[in-house]
Amino acid sequence: MEMAGPQIGRALVVIVDDRVSGGERSDQTGPLVTELLEEANFLVDGVVSAPGEVVAIRSALNTAVIGGVDLVVTVGGTGVSPRDVTPDATSGVLDRPIPGISEALRASGLAAGAVDAGLSRGLVGVSGSTLVVNLAPSRAAVRDGMATLTPLVPHVIAELSGLDA
């Protein structure tokens, strides 16, 4: 195994899924996102789950921001069904959206055949000094989204921490 590069920052994963948060189904996605983040040299603080409810999602996001993580990746709740409220919850915590990254996630997801990624209403933006990213829930969307995201995140974190000022 090759040596990991310098730690980019701390991350938290939020799985938005009624059945996972209710204990009816085990979380298959959190371990995948954690592995991809660790490969990208993030220290993953943990994986939390939330039901598809604005208040619960917003609470998980606010906890991460207050906890000072550099990156929060939410997975799920980005579609058009009535329970898909992750972007609506996220918009309430963002100080500044970064539409270019969310557009890149949709475009690359669509090109990769991850239909849920292409149709995602997911947002990306900054809350305090934390980058918040909404990913669609399919494994294809997660894999492609992380591949698109990981080269961009260090630049955002550097700007947020004032390292490149």
* pLDDT (tens digit per residue) in 32-74: 999 999 999 999 999 999 999 999 999 999 999 999 999 999 9
> Would you place residue 7 in the very low, low, confident or very high pLDDT band (cuts 50, 70, 90)?
confident
Single out the residue of 74, 75, 76 nearest to residue 84, CA to CA.
76
Mean pLDDT of the residues in the chain = 93
Please give the Cα distance from 64 to 107 (Å, whole number): 27
Domain range summary for the chain, segments of one domain joined by +: 9-161
Q: What share of the chain is helix, strand, coil (3-state, %, to 5)?
A: 40, 20, 35
CATH superfamily, with its number, for domain 9-161: MoaB/Mog-like domain (3.40.980.10)
Please give the Cα distance from 139 to 136 (Å, whole number): 9
Residue 5's pLDDT is what? 67
Residue 89's pLDDT is what? 98
Residue 163's pLDDT is what? 61
Residue 162's pLDDT is what? 79
Backbone phi and psi for residue 139, each to the nearest 5 degrees, phi listed first = -60, -35
Residue 126's pLDDT is what? 97
* pLDDT (tens digit per residue) in 100-142: 999 999 999 999 999 999 999 999 999 999 999 999 999 999 9
Average pLDDT, integer, range 83-111: 97
